[in-house]
Every structure is written in structure tokens, then in C-alpha cells.
Structure 1
Amino acid sequence: MGAFDWFWKAMGSTTQRNDKVSRSIIERSGELSAQFKAYSDEGVVEAVRAAVGERGIEDKVAFIAGLAEASTRALAMAPFGVQSQAVLRLLEGDVIQMDTGEGKTLVGAMAATGFALTGKRVHLMTVNNYLAQRDAEWMRPLVEFFGLTVGAVTEASTREERVAAYRCDVVYAPVAEIGFDHLRDNQITRREDAVQAPADVALVDEADSVLIDEALVPLVLAGSVGTQQATGRITEAVSRLSAGTDYAVDSTGRAVSLTEHGARAIERSLGIESLYDAEHVGDTLVRVNLALHAKALLIRDVHYIVDDGKVALVDASRGRVAELQRWPDGLQAAVEAKEGLDVSEGGRILDSITLQALMRRYPQVCGMTGTAVEATEQLRTFYGLRVSVIERATPTKRFDEADRIYATAAEKNRAIVEEVALLNGRGQPVLVGTHDVAESEALAAQLRQLGIEVSVLNAKNDAEEARIIAEAGDVGRVTVSTQMAGRGTDIRLGGADESAREEVVSLGGLAVIGTSRHRTSRLDNQLRGRAGRQGDPGLTVFFVSLEDDVVVTGGADSKVTAQPDAEGRITDPKVAAFIEHCRRVTEGQLLEIHAQTWKYNKLIADHRDILDERRAAILDTPVAWRELAARCPQRAAELDGLPAEVREQAAREIMAYHLDAEWSAYLALMDEVRESIHLRAIARETPIDEYHRIAVREFKELANRAVDQAAETFAKVEIDAAGAHLDDAGWKRPSATWTYMVSDNPLSGGGNSLISGVANIFR
């Protein structure tokens, strides 16, 4: 037995025992159903509430039976036994895996209601605004059946709407909106100005995507400091550079650098002697590198689209516009300049938090997804979460065909078009999953040339997604979509009303075609899961070429030889094994990136916890006044004539201002350290250890400086009955703030991964 085999065996045994106990509870709760059906609505509510004791749910059998009966009455949706089992596992704090179409929306609502019945406020986190609004309204009758309240927060919500929603028992909201509201609340100087109310449970939809794929994406709150221009002269000079001669892109496609020839060309264009002189290296060279990164690595309709005169980033893991997302300010400005658009205002980062750090704030985290098993180790390592697999209510009839492998991308693409035409010719609905906007539109154009009507679902039209997906299972439909994860709408055979269901069933159900393997099997399985819903027939197949990104990246140090047939297809099983090896390599690379980045972020998250405790003390107690009065007793004596609440609020605002300013400077400094920390290895130092040493030292100095500067301000700023006049003294908070996400997702691939790319700009 291996060193850790006992651990995994024990983990497996624990999960099996939990599932066995859960099934037993569900079986017994089913036996109670007739009894609950005889109750009045009030009787059901009373019985469920009676199942809750001081230590939580004491009678799980009655509790689950009552939730199921309430769902049947309030929503006309009677849950299957496996759905009730999923609810129970969520209430126990697991991440559940349920296949697409098996009813996760109802499961989430039942579990959220269950948590709320035990006195816990629940944040049910969705992946977009549409799902938050839709699910809150759809599931509202169930929550309100028990006299509980439910609200929704979306990007369009006003401050008043957010305040009301966050005080509900169950809150539906996109995870990013919850994070942004937390950041904004960290800037207040009066507790009553807080938008959010404390929550006890985070119930995360698409849990593997949020908790793993996007866990390290920073949510950023920025304040106005004026436009950061990528000057027109620099953009124009860089636009004339040629690949290979003037600049080189590294093998990963994530970093680009000027050649000596390119540097000389830039110097001639800008009329300067040397880019590397002290006069230019700190500003001009950085701007040149930003413009070069925008030119060479960020591709329109792959990494971003231009919509209504603005650059909108594409979330590659979901294939839709990443709302509120942007690159770091300098790079964002460079892309805007490249496209000839107005350059947006830059800003100083006031605060930021990763999704992983955000989850640390909840006493309990659980979640649901269609693909959790492959993320079991990450969920256990980073969150201490177990995974429970919930069986289908009806066994699958889907057929997953072996990959069709081709020598070149051109041959693969031709085969995809032929396969779609073949399936469409007999009326079978087809869903094609592509990797980016450009690919989806190119494929759709080829199909239309053959006279095939195509619905395209990508980042350019995601507002239409519910309608497009709902009809994707109808006879003769061809839908080309970027990533399907988190789309949130089931594909029903025969169309939204299932009027042609039997005809589609006879044709073999929905056919799903993947145009390439993803860098993680979870994304492959999310696409596969669109076929075979609730026991429907279906077909899935992936087309792969030896030129695909996952093969080139994962097999960078390997070579494979095979003899393709006349159409370029390769059937050698050794090649299929090689491609699977490449995918495992890329998946391992992503896990290593996550693990290393987690180590860097964890210390910052620990420091954030300390800062939050300090800020809470400043807001909720007179500690700011006591400390400043002790440091400046003469000034405190001068203010004796003011009401105590005025003095305390003035001290609170002064202390909070300097604490926030120092935290902002700390984040900026540690970001710079992170970009250059790899150089420590040259001096035989361990980068992560050096990073931690610097972070601890700087955070300690941050705390001391904040208090010292607050005391200096307290001693000289005007304080009267109206409070502390910080603005008049030049200590002014930003007049405008906004939120965005930094594109820092290693799953994006193909140049959109800025973990290493942006860092290289400044080297």
C-alpha cells in the first residue's frame, strides 16, 4: 500500500458511508410522504420547523420529507429521491455532483430553504445576473411557503435594492457582485452605510468553476487617479513591428519581447536615443511593452470583442462576455488604443480580493456542479470540502464516441463540417462546442455556405442564450456555442415545448460535437453533459488534431508519429493515448499554477483578515478616539467641547482613511514584489519564502504607519461640529470608484493567461 493509499481509501469509505446513510434517510422520508400529504400547509410548516432543534436539524427524515412536500405544493415540482439526497448532502456541507438536466436549480433552492429554516442566512451564488434573477423568482414560492424571505442582487441592482436583498433569508446573486459589494463595504466609515448583512452559508452553483477555475481571479475596487494613456505615437510605432524580426513570442504564447532590431525601430519612430536609458525605462519602455502585448498576444474575437465602442473581455471558460472584467489598467488602455477607441480612465487599486479569499469569510461553504469528481483533490486541499456523487434519476442512454483524431487543424475542421452536415441531413439536432468567438463564427459561416441554418451562441449575443439553448434540441437545429458551463438552461428534445420530442428521440437525441479537447477534462464533461438529459438518448464526440493547443502545449517535449488516412484521420490507439497524456499534462500544469498561486495569496488573505478585524473595531467601538487621544492629548483636550459622537466619528474617519490608504499601497507593493520575485531564485533564495518575509515585514510597517499618519492628521486637521474636514486638508477619498475583475485565469489559455504574461511586461 502506498504512503497515502490509506488516506484515499479512508476518504472513499467516509463518502460511501455518508451516501449510504443519506439514502437510508431519503428512503424513510419517502415513507412519510403520504402522511405529509394529509397535512395542511400550516401543518407541513409546523412539522418541518419541529424537526429543527437547538443544534440544527434533529429529525432529518421529517425535515427532508417536509421540504419535498412544500416543493410539490409551492412549485408543482415533486423532487426525485436523488434530488432529496442531494439536498441532504448540501445541508451536510458537501459539494454535490449532479448531471446536467437533473434539477440542480430545485435542489439548490430546497437546500437554501433548509439552511434558512435553521436560522442561517444563505448566499446562493450563481455565475451570472440572468440566473440570479431567474432562479430567485422561479424558486420564490418555495422559500416564502415557510414564511422566509428571498431576494436577488444583480449588476443592475440599485443600492437600496441591494440593502433590501442582503437582509433576506436567501439571497441569489452572482459571486462577483457579492465580492464587489464586500469591497465597497470595506470603504465605509459608518456601520449603517454597509450594504451587506452577515451571511452564514455560501451555496455555490457551478462550484468547480467558481471554487477552482476562477478561485484566484482578483475582484478589484479602483479609485480615480486620471487616465493612464497608452500614447498614440507608441501604439502606432508598435503596430508597424513584424513578428520574428522585431519581436518574439515565447513557446507558451503568454509572453512577448522586443528583439534588438525591434527596439531600434521603436527608438527611430519615437525619436529617442535608447529605450533602456534611465529616462525611458520606467515609463516609455513599459508602455511599449504593454502595446506590444496588446498587439501580439491579445486577439480580437478570441480574447475580447469590441462592442459599442468599448473593449469587452471574453471569459474563455464560459464563452461569454466577462461582465465588469478588464485587464490591469495599463494593458486595458493599450488594447483600447490598439483598437482606436477612447482610452478609459485608469485608477489606483483601493482594495481587491480573490474568490478563494471571499469564500473564507463564510462559516460554511457547499456547492453543486455537474463535474466535481475531477476536482475532488483541489476542493479538499483548498477548502476542506467533500464531494458526493448523486446518481441520475434515470440511467443515461448517451453514447460517448471515441475521439476522432486528425493530423492537421484544417483536416479536422473539414471533418467537423462534414459531420454536422451529415447529422443535420437526417434532422438530428446538433450542438457544437467551440473554444472562442472567432472559431464559432468561422464554423457557422462554413455551415451557412452549405445552406445549413445555424444559431450562434457566443460572447457577442449572450443575452439571447436562454432562447437559443431552449430550442437547441428541436428537429434540424444546429447550434454553435462557446463553452456551455453555467448556461443554466436545459436543452429539451423536440424544442422548448418538447412538441417534437418523439421524433428527436427516434433520431438518436441531441448530438454534441466538441471541436477540440479542453485543458481540463471537467470542461469536456460539462459539454458532454448537455446530451442525454434525464435518460434521453444522445451522442457526443470530440474532434482533435495534432495542432490543437492542448496537444502542442501538453506534448511540447514529445513527438508522435502516425500515418493518417487519405482524409487526414489517425486511428492508431497510441496517438489517442498520447493525446490523453497531453491533456493530463496540461491539467497538471493548471493544478501546479493554482497551488503555487494559492501559496502567494494565502498570506495576503491572512493579512486581510487582520485588517478587517482592525477596521471593524474602528467602526464599531471608540478605539480610534482612544488611541488618537492617547497619542495627542493636547489636541483631544481642545475638542472636549464637541459632542462625544462627533469626536469619535472624526477619529474614526481619520483612522479609517489612513488604514485604507496604507492597505492600498501594500497591495500595490506586493503586486510589484510578486512580478519580480522569481529573480530571487538566481540568488539561491526560495521565492515563496522571500515573498512571505517581505509581506510580513511590510504589513507590520503598514499598521505602524497608519497609526502614525492618523495621529499627525488628528493633530492638525480642522475638526468642528460638522466633523473632520479631511477633504479640505487634501486627504480625500476618490471621487469615483468602480469595480472590475483582473483577467488572471490560467484556464483561459492561448494568450489570455496573464499570470506570467503581464509579469513579463515589467521584466
Structure 2
Amino acid sequence: MGLRDRFRRLVQKPGTVDLAPFQAVVADAGTREDRVRELTDDELTAGAFVDDLAEFCAIGREAARRTLGERPYDVQLVGMLALLSGHVAEMATGEGKTLAGALAAAGYALRGERVHVMSVNDYLARRDAEWMGPLYRMLGVSTGWVGQASTPDERRAAYAADVTYAPVSEIGFDLLRDRLVTDPADAVLPEPAVALIDEADSVLVDEAMVPLVLAGATELAEADPRYADLVRRLRPGLHHAVDTEARNVTLTAAGTREVERALGVDLYAAENLAVLTAVNVALHAEVLLHRDVDYIVRDGAVKLISESRGRVALLQRWPDGLQAAVEAKEALAASPSGEILDSVTVQELIGRYPARCGMTGTAMAVSGQLTEFYGLEIAVIPPNEPCVRRDDPDLLYATSADKEVAIVEEIAAAHATGRPVLIGTADVAESERLARRLARAGLDRVVLNAKNDAEEAAIIAEAGAPGAITVSTQMAGRGTDIRLGGGPPGSVPGTAPASAGASARDRVAAAGGLLVIGTGRYHSSRLDDQLRGRAGRQGDPGGSVFFTSLQDDLVTRFAPDETYKGPTEPDGRIDDKGARWIVGHAQRVAEGVDLELHRNTWRYNHLIGLQRRELLVERTAVLQGDHADRMMAEDAPDRHAALVEAAGADAVADAARQILLYHLDRCWADHLAFLADLREGIHLRSLGRGLDPLVEFNREAVPAGKRLLPDARARAVTAFRALTASASGIDLDAAELKRPSATWTYLVHDNPFGSLDERALKGLISMFGRRH
């Protein structure tokens, strides 16, 4: 290794990719630019190939210039090459990730690999597919997009394209539906090849623990309103207690007596287990889930709020019992419930793709998780223009009230100079509380939160206008850049603004650019960086500052034992380094806890994934071949022969296939229900005896998984023996193949306060909280 290589390795960030080879290719491409510009459109299309990467860079750059009116910067081409090499490209906000991703997707497609570009929502999937469409066409690559409302035929056509844009959830739901088809022609997804993930950290880390679920219709699981009324009357501290992490609430002895008196039952008697469960679920819904923080009520329904994005989590719900309890709490009609037919985690979904890459503005903070769980490395792409944003130190206050007063004063001062201000809040309730304070101060503002997130593109696009005040919940994945002076949503980065816009831009730049204010640190420094990165795009002026307090939820939850007894200014401000350390310490503890919970969730789902894989091998053999027919001929030869004589070989083969598919699916749904009960119940037994819950879970789950296929085959043979046939065909009604009358998909927020295995990690906070 030469001296220069050793020096580069020394200064290179740990876990990052060396950019030098990519930069050399881009430099080579620059020497070819004049020649490529002389090509006709047809010659440009004909020359699009990736055997020569420098030539592909030159052709891709020229295609973008002709079709989008934008010449990609060198750093965008470096990002594209990083994606083509299977890395996660970290590119700052406003650096043109969408275009870099499109060029990379085209490169993969020209290699003959089908690409799924995974976004975080329908809006971004459609916008980017249509926006980049002309570029793809000039490069000879077909595109499609999938949204929540897409029909099966539309999905099939979109997935047949070279490059398909779709929300990660829709791809997961299509996978789940395909796993239950009884005719190969009904499947929509092709074999996985390349996953290119937008907002990679949000998708691969924040949503890694949220299972995607396919459910089958059952009766409504309405919660008895008596329980909601009862727990509402219980007094905190006296009748129930909340643990320090706010993940669990339990009845006290006095609370137990009060509930037993009100219901007239012995709450802990074996025959009253259902009552005890209903009371506990109602208590969790009442005490731990808060309206306008964890959910909103819109159009007569409970809508969950995504913690990492601050917006309504479409199609997301809690497990049925808890969902019904929250609906009872809000006096709403119960939503449909059903048994889980199959589920898949985002981590398992992404793991199906042989090639994976992604892009985001904040990858380094989770580089360890991206490497540990996905085998991905980070390529940190430098900005095209140096970032000149001024990031001021946090302003720390003793109380939340002092902090909020100071925030309003800071906003008013910036607004008076014509400087636009973007304020990032933790939840809906805080955004509305701050909006009311601003209104009392006579300051006009626009609020963007889960209650009006459909307007987000237009609101964010105007957040850079002179004097604008925008109050927003979590900014992750908003997908729209904030232009100084304001600008239309979805406009191409790098294009010249209109003259009026230029004038507004100059006024904003002279005032210091966009000022980003955080009303508190998030549970991850990565989310802080996502908010901060909204200012200072493409070398623009800008600034950021975070206001924190020792009463913030982050501090009280993750550093409850840390206290500050030092001096405080008259306005409540604290400048002590030790007090600042407490806030940073709480954030580091929160990040450590989240990582351990991610690992713990992966450990459970890894085993379930292995069992599912074994079943799917069997199911595929049944669906696409004569496996079921041969099995019935072997295990029930007399009945098989009689049915063939009566109805013909083809009819018998089809009946055998349908029967075995049904029982494979039925046994898998039963197995998932068993594993869910086991995972919850195992902790009640293991914790009291000091056992490892995961070991105990595996001790029972592994044998149950080994019985799965034999049980399904035995049930299928029994049903096959009961078949009757005539010249008109086989009567499958006797086999009782009753599939659900309706199915639907959703994301299950797998217990917002942590499932019992997560509550078993109560020692995590103290473990991560020790000073080193």
C-alpha cells in the first residue's frame, strides 16, 4: 500500500467507502463530454450501456441535460457509481439524490437487472417515476410505478418494467398476497433482483421493526366500553403506576381492589383471564397512548402517527385488542379485525434482493446497523458547494415553559428581519401548542403535521419565502427541498428561478437564509441532522439552533436519575457543561436502547423467517408442479385411483393442489398465532425464573416449526380422502376449504410501549446510562 493510500485510509471515516476510484471514472467522463454532446438522440440512446462506466456517466449526464434541463454535478455521478457498486450514498439535502438514483437504476437495468426503487410513500413514488421518465426513455429503459390504489393488472404491468418505483410497504404487501395465490397467473411480483432504497436510513432502520401484515376477515373485535370507562376513573399513582421508560403501566394493589369492586370479580382467578387482559389493554390505551401524540382522530377513525416522520402512518394499526381499546376510549366504532395470515418485516423483505443499495442524507449515524443487518457500507459524497450553514450550540433551559418562551422570542427576532424560519417539533400536540403561542404573539404561521400532511409539498415549498414561519413535525422523508425565496414543489434542483423568485431569494439570503429551530433533541442524532439539513442546501446561507430543557421527554425518560443543581439564569437558561452533558447522554442512551431493541426484534424474526422459507419452498413446489398430486397418489393411493377414474387425472391433480395449498396456508396462520402467544407468554414464565426469553422462545418454537409441514400434509391427506367425484368433476365443498371472505393489508405497530420481550429489557437504560 502506497503512502497516499495509507494516508487516505487514515483520514477516511470508519465504515465509509473510498471514493477515489469513482472520482477517477467521473474525471474520465468529463473528457468525453464534448464528444457525447455531438451525438443525436438516437445515437445517445443506442450508446447507453454500462460496460464502460466513464462512457455511461458521460451519456447519462447528457441525457439528463437534454430531458430534464439539468447537467448532473460530478458529485451526483460519484453518488450514482456508489449506488451501482452496492453501497448507501450519503448525500446532503438538495444535492440531487433523485437524479443520482435514477441514473443508477438505469445502469442496473442496462445490465439486464430489474430494479425496484423503494420510496417511503405513494406521492414520492409517482412523482419521481414521472419526473425521471423522460431520462429513462432516452436511455432506452422502461419505467412504472405502484401506489396504494393500483389494481392487480396495473401492478403486474408496473413490475414488468425495467425500473419500478413503489413504496416499500406496497412491495411488501404484494409479496404477502403473492404468497397466498392458488394460481401462478395471479402473482404480480417478479423474482427480486435489485432494491434501490430512497431515504435508506428511515426505511432500513426506523421501519425495520414494523411488520407488514396480511389479515383475513373475522368478526369485529369490539372492546367493551365498560373497561374504557372504568380505567378512565382510576387515579394515577394510587390505582396504577407507570414504569420509568413509559413502556408499561400496571395496577397497584389499590387499583386491583377498585377494579374488582367495580366489576364484581376476582380479577386474578383463572376463569377471569379474559377480563384481566381486557382491563390491562384498556389501561394501556388510556395511560400510555395520547391523542395528538401517538394518534389523531380523523373522519371518525383512529389514525396512527409515525414517530420518525410525524405524519399519519397510512394503513397502520396496533394489534387488534389494543386498536379496539383505543377506539373504545375515543367512543368510536370498532374497525375490522382479523387473524394474521402472513407477515413480513422490512428487513426480511429487503434481504430477498441479491443486490441492495440506497441513498439518504443521514447514513453515518446508523452505519453500524446498516452493516450489521444488511451488509451495506456508506459512501459519504461531498456536497457540490461547501456547506456554509451556521449551526449554533444548543440553548438549554431548566423548564419546558422557559424554553417555549425563548423559542417564540427567537422566531419573532428572525421574522422581524424577513428571515424565514422552520421549526421542527416532536409531535402534533407540541406543534399546535407552539402555533397558539405564536398566534398570541401576533405572528402568522403555517402548521404542517399529521392533521394536514396532504398539503406538505406546497407548505414545505413555500417555507423559504421571506418572513415565512413554518411549524412542522418530524421532517424525515418529506421529499421536497426548501428553496430560498420559495419555489414550486417538485421543481428540478439546480434550475434557474424566475426573476421574481430570484429577487425574493436575494432578500432571504441577505437576511441570513433559512433558520431551522429544533424545539428539542430527538431520540436519535440522525433525526436532528435531518431537520438541520433543511437549511444550507447547495451552498445557500442558513442556520440552525436547538432549544432543549431538562424537562424534555428525552431527558426524563432516558436519563431519569441525572439531576442538575447548579446555577440558572433569570430567564431559565443554563450554560453549565454538566447540564448539557445530561441532554447528550440521554440521547446516546436512547440510541443504544433502540439499537438493542432492533437486534432483539431481529433475533425473533430470524427464526420465523427460516421457518417461513421452508414452508414457501414446499408451497412453490405445490403451486407450480405436480407435487401435491404425487403426494396424494403415494399417501392415499386407493382414493386417488378412484377419483382419477371418476373425474380424470387433471381434475384430481388440481383438487390435490388446492387442498394442500389451503392446509399449508392454514397451518402457517395457526403457527403465527401460536408464536405470537408464545412470545408474549414466555416472558411471564422466564422473567420470574431468571431465564433468557429468547432461549425459552426457541425451545418451543423450533419443535413447533418442525411439526408444521407434516401437520399440513396429514390434514391435506385426510381432506383428500373425504373427496367425492362424478363425471361432472370433484366436489371440493366436502374438503371445507374456507378461505377468508376478505383480506386486507396493514402495518402493525408491534406494541408502542414495547412488547413484553422489550419490557424485559428494563435494565437497558441503566446499562447504557452508566458513565464510562
TM-score range, shorter chain: over 0.9
Please say if 1:608 is aligned against 2:612: yes
Q: Cα distance 1:410–1:230, how it changes in 2: closer, same or farther (>3 A)?
A: same
User: What aligned pairs does 1:554-565 form with structure 2 within 5 A after superposition?
Assistant: 554-565=558-569
Alpha-carbon distance in 2 for matches of 1:168, 1:723: 40
Structure 1 counterpart of 2:585, from 581, 585, 589: 581
Alpha-carbon distance in 2 for matches of 1:622, 1:759: 47
Aligned position for 1:331:
322
Aligned position for 2:40:
40
Contact 2:517–2:545 (8 Å) recurs in 1: yes
Aligned position for 2:293:
302
Q: How far 1:273 moved relative to its partner?
A: 2.6
Aligned position for 1:427:
418
Alpha-carbon distance in 1 for matches of 2:592, 2:716: 48
Aligned position for 1:259:
252
Alpha-carbon distance in 2 for matches of 1:9, 1:557: 41
The secondary structure found in structure 2 opposite 1:345 is coil
The secondary structure found in structure 2 opposite 1:220 is strand
Alpha-carbon distance in 2 for matches of 1:383, 1:639: 50
Alpha-carbon distance in 1 for matches of 2:612, 2:35: 51
TM-score normalized with structure 1 length: 0.94
Q: Cα distance 1:616–1:176, how it changes in 2: closer, same or farther (>3 A)?
A: same
Q: Which moved more, 1:661-670 or 1:512-521?
A: 661-670
Q: How far 1:577 moved relative to its partner?
A: 2.4
Please say if 1:661 is aligned against 2:666: yes
Kindly provide the amino acid, as one letter, of the partner of residue 452 in structure 1.
L
Kindly provide the amino acid, as one letter, of the partner of residue 408 in structure 1.
T
Q: How far 1:592 moved relative to its partner?
A: 1.1
Contact 2:91–2:382 (8 Å) recurs in 1: yes
Structure 2 counterpart of 1:694, from 685, 696, 700: 700
Kindly provide the amino acid, as one letter, of the partner of residue 337 in structure 1.
A
Please say if 1:459 is aligned against 2:446: no
Structural RMSD (CA)? 2.0
Contact 2:597–2:758 (8 Å) recurs in 1: no
Q: How far 1:715 moved relative to its partner?
A: 0.8
Q: How far 1:576 moved relative to its partner?
A: 1.7
Q: How far 1:109 moved relative to its partner?
A: 1.1
User: What aligned pairs does 1:329-368 form with structure 2 within 5 A after superposition?
Assistant: 329-368=320-359
Aligned position for 1:409:
400
Q: How far 1:579 moved relative to its partner?
A: 1.8
Q: Cα distance 1:192–1:119, how it changes in 2: closer, same or farther (>3 A)?
A: same
Alpha-carbon distance in 1 for matches of 2:725, 2:234: 58
Alpha-carbon distance in 1 for matches of 2:713, 2:77: 53
Please say if 1:676 is aligned against 2:681: yes
Q: How far 1:676 moved relative to its partner?
A: 2.9
Q: How many aligned positions are there?
A: 739
Q: Cα distance 1:684–1:280, how it changes in 2: closer, same or farther (>3 A)?
A: closer
Q: How far 1:726 moved relative to its partner?
A: 4.5
Deviations 1:623-647 (A, max 9, x none): 1111122110011101224344332
The secondary structure found in structure 2 opposite 1:222 is strand
Aligned position for 1:522:
526
Structure 1 counterpart of 2:89, from 96, 101, 112: 96
User: What aligned pairs does 1:723-734 form with structure 2 within 5 A after superposition?
Assistant: 725-727=731-733, 729-734=735-740
Aligned position for 1:749:
none
Alpha-carbon distance in 2 for matches of 1:696, 1:9: 45
Structure 2 counterpart of 1:542, from 536, 539, 546: 546
Aligned position for 1:714:
720
Aligned position for 1:418:
409
Contact 1:93–1:366 (8 Å) recurs in 2: yes
Contact 2:655–2:732 (8 Å) recurs in 1: no
Kindly provide the amino acid, as one letter, of the partner of residue 274 in structure 1.
D
Q: Cα distance 1:306–1:47, how it changes in 2: closer, same or farther (>3 A)?
A: same
The secondary structure found in structure 1 opposite 2:71 is coil
TM-score normalized with structure 2 length: 0.93
The secondary structure found in structure 2 opposite 1:83 is helix
The secondary structure found in structure 1 opposite 2:218 is strand
Q: How far 1:9 moved relative to its partner?
A: 6.9
Kindly provide the amino acid, as one letter, of the partner of residue 204 in structure 1.
I
User: What aligned pairs does 1:113-512 form with structure 2 within 5 A after superposition?
Assistant: 113-270=106-263, 272-281=264-273, 283-496=274-487, 498-499=501-502, 500-512=504-516
The secondary structure found in structure 1 opposite 2:515 is strand
Alpha-carbon distance in 2 for matches of 1:723, 1:402: 78
Q: How far 1:264 moved relative to its partner?
A: 2.4
Q: Which moved more, 1:573-582 or 1:298-307?
A: 573-582
Alpha-carbon distance in 1 for matches of 2:727, 2:323: 44
Q: Cα distance 1:719–1:263, how it changes in 2: closer, same or farther (>3 A)?
A: farther
Alpha-carbon distance in 2 for matches of 1:685, 1:11: 45
Deviations 1:145-196 (A, max 9, x none): 2332211111111222112111111111110111011101111011001022
Contact 1:726–1:732 (8 Å) recurs in 2: no
Kindly provide the amino acid, as one letter, of the partner of residue 645 in structure 1.
D
Contact 2:679–2:757 (8 Å) recurs in 1: no
Alpha-carbon distance in 1 for matches of 2:112, 2:334: 48
The secondary structure found in structure 1 opposite 2:217 is strand
Q: Which moved more, 1:145-154 or 1:429-438?
A: 145-154
Q: Which moved more, 1:115-124 or 1:497-506?
A: 497-506
Deviations 1:588-625 (A, max 9, x none): 11111111221111111122222222211111111111
Deviations 1:459-517 (A, max 9, x none): 00010000000000000100000000100000000011634000000000000000000
Q: Cα distance 1:602–1:439, how it changes in 2: closer, same or farther (>3 A)?
A: same
Kindly provide the amino acid, as one letter, of the partner of residue 485 in structure 1.
A
Contact 1:743–1:754 (8 Å) recurs in 2: no
Contact 1:294–1:334 (8 Å) recurs in 2: yes
Contact 2:15–2:367 (8 Å) recurs in 1: no
Q: Cα distance 1:261–1:443, how it changes in 2: closer, same or farther (>3 A)?
A: same
Aligned position for 1:748:
none
Structure 2: stretches of 5+ with no match in the other structure? 1-5, 488-496, 761-772
Kindly provide the amino acid, as one letter, of the partner of residue 665 in structure 1.
D
Kindly provide the amino acid, as one letter, of the partner of residue 596 in structure 2.
E
Aligned position for 1:618:
622
Kindly provide the amino acid, as one letter, of the partner of residue 628 in structure 2.
A
Q: How far 1:557 moved relative to its partner?
A: 3.2
Alpha-carbon distance in 1 for matches of 2:392, 2:712: 62
Kindly provide the amino acid, as one letter, of the partner of residue 549 in structure 2.
S
The secondary structure found in structure 2 opposite 1:476 is coil
Structure 1: stretches of 5+ with no match in the other structure? 1-5, 50-56, 746-751
Q: Which moved more, 1:257-266 or 1:315-324?
A: 257-266
Q: How far 1:15 moved relative to its partner?
A: 6.8
Alpha-carbon distance in 1 for matches of 2:450, 2:558: 27
Alpha-carbon distance in 1 for matches of 2:136, 2:219: 46
Kindly provide the amino acid, as one letter, of the partner of residue 706 in structure 1.
A
Aligned position for 2:104:
111
Q: Cα distance 1:14–1:518, how it changes in 2: closer, same or farther (>3 A)?
A: closer
Deviations 1:104-131 (A, max 9, x none): 1111111111111111111100001110
Q: Cα distance 1:725–1:419, how it changes in 2: closer, same or farther (>3 A)?
A: farther
The secondary structure found in structure 2 opposite 1:754 is coil
Kindly provide the amino acid, as one letter, of the partner of residue 38 in structure 1.
E
Q: Which moved more, 1:676-685 or 1:728-737?
A: 676-685
Q: How far 1:759 moved relative to its partner?
A: 7.2
Q: How far 1:719 moved relative to its partner?
A: 5.2
Q: Cα distance 1:112–1:719, how it changes in 2: closer, same or farther (>3 A)?
A: farther
Structure 2 counterpart of 1:651, from 643, 656, 661: 656
Contact 1:255–1:757 (8 Å) recurs in 2: no
Alpha-carbon distance in 2 for matches of 1:14, 1:356: 24
Q: Percent identity?
A: 50
